[in-house]
């Protein structure tokens, strides 16, 4: 009788999940969430259960269906079938705009927002909108200051897992992004993109005041201070301000007396490399500046 009952339950499950192909992911999400909450409830109360209830839990676990590829345990055959799409590469949901295909309907729905421009998830703090709820959740950490991802090597924390992953390459020395032109490798793809502009000569960042172009946005930002007169780097010793941090660094040597650049000919030291270069001309006899 128990065998007949279990067989009838399987039939019910199959009938319940005989749905249109486009509803598969939504059904999976709902069922997996439900199963997850049940398992969590059992986990919390397991020590208070009687031997009979423990036996029921064990029987339920036996009735689950395990993926032969990755070992994941699923609630029914139909959910297992949906899960197998990940392993067999089946992507039945195709974008009508660009032809890209997806495993699940929900993934296609997320993708479609790229084409429609829809951003239904809005930040209550600053009003910025996002196409996916996960992107909003990441953004909210800017306002809350939450940094849940911590480096096990140095203790530094980050608000995104991707930022921690990039940071870890500092410790491991991994540089997976290599320039095909000169072979230099980089920690981040963005650094490689910036480097490639040296080879291509691309300067996509243009000053709206004078039309001068730059290969990096940071270079444009520095340049803009010429027009705005902004000098955000003040000297703590004398109060003099500078438009660039490098200029402040050079200036600080006046106060510290540091002279790290030494002439190999006579041993005289200088606070700046440019001053050493000028001094070296006395030894070499070089006279690059001609009266016009």
**CA dihedral (261, 262, 265, 268) positive or negative:** positive
Helix 77-88 with 2-16: angle, nearest 10 deg: 60
Could you read off the pLDDT of 22-81 as tens digits, one per residue?
A: 444 444 444 444 444 444 444 434 444 444 444 444 444 567 889 988 988 888 888 888
pLDDT at 6: 39
What pLDDT score was predicted for residue 61? 59
pLDDT at res. 34: 45
> Alpha helix locations (H) across 63-119?
77-88, 105-116
What integer is the mean pLDDT of 149-168?
Answer: 94
Specify the pLDDT at position 4: 37
Q: How do residues 77-123 score in pLDDT, each as one tens digit?
A: 888 888 888 888 888 889 999 999 988 888 899 899 999 999 999 99
pLDDT at site 91:
87
In this predicted structure, the answer to whether residue 285 has a pLDDT above a threshold of 80 is yes
pLDDT at 202 over 60: yes
Closest CA to 265 of 282, 289, 248, 244: 282
Under 8 Å between Cβ of 262 and 271 = no
- Residue 127: left (phi > 0), alpha (psi -120 to 50), or beta? left
- Dump pLDDT digits (tens) for 212-222: 999 999 899 99
Average pLDDT, integer, range 124-134: 92
List pLDDT tens digits, range 243-257.
999 899 989 988 999
- Which pLDDT score is estimated for 62? 63
pLDDT for residue 7: 40
Predicted pLDDT of residue 267: 93
Higher-confidence position of 255 and 4 = 255
What is the rounded CA–CA span in Å between residue 264 and residue 86?
Answer: 65
Whether the Cβ atoms of residue 248 and residue 235 lie closer than 8 Å to each other: yes
Residue 29: name the closest of 17, 40, 42 by CA.
Answer: 17
Whether the full predicted model's pTM is greater than 0.75, yes or no, is no
Nearest alpha-carbon partner for 178 in 165, 170, 187, 169: 187
CA atoms of 177 and 193, how far apart (whole Å): 10
Task: In whole angstroms, give the CA distance from residue 152 to residue 133.
Answer: 28
pLDDT for the residue numbered 133: 92
């Amino acid at each position: 009788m128990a065998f007949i009952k279990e067989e009838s339950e399987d039939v019910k499950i199959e009938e319940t999940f005989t749905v249109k192909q486009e509803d598969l992911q939504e059904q999976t999400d709902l069922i997996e969430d439900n199963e997850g909450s049940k398992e969590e409830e059992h986990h919390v109360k397991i020590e208070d259960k009687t031997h009979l209830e423990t036996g029921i839990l064990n029987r339920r676990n036996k009735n689950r269906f395990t993926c032969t590829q990755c070992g994941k345990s699923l609630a029914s055959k139909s959910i297992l079938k949906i899960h197998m799409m990940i392993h067999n590469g089946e992507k039945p949901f195709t974008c009508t705009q660009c032809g890209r295909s997806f495993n699940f309907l929900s993934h296609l729905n997320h993708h479609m927002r790229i084409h429609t421009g829809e951003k239904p998830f809005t930040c209550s703090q600053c009003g910025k909108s996002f196409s996916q709820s996960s992107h909003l959740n990441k953004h909210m950490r800017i306002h809350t200051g939450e940094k849940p991802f911590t480096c096990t090597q140095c203790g530094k924390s980050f608000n995104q897992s991707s930022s921690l992953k990039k940071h870890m390459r500092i410790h491991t020395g991994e540089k997976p992004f290599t320039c095909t032109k000169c072979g230099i490798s980089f920690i981040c793809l963005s650094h490689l993109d910036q480097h490639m502009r040296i080879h291509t000569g691309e300067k996509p960042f243009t000053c709206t005041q004078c039309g001068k172009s730059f290969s990096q946005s940071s270079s444009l930002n520095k340049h803009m201070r010429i027009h705005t007169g902004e000098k955000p780097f003040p000297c703590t010793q004398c109060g003099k301000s500078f438009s660039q941090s490098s200029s402040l660094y050079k200036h600080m040597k006046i106060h510290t007396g540091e002279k790290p650049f030494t002439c190999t000919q006579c041993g005289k030291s200088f606070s700046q490399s440019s001053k050493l270069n000028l001094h070296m001309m006395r030894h070499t006899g070089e006279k690059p500046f001609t009266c016009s």
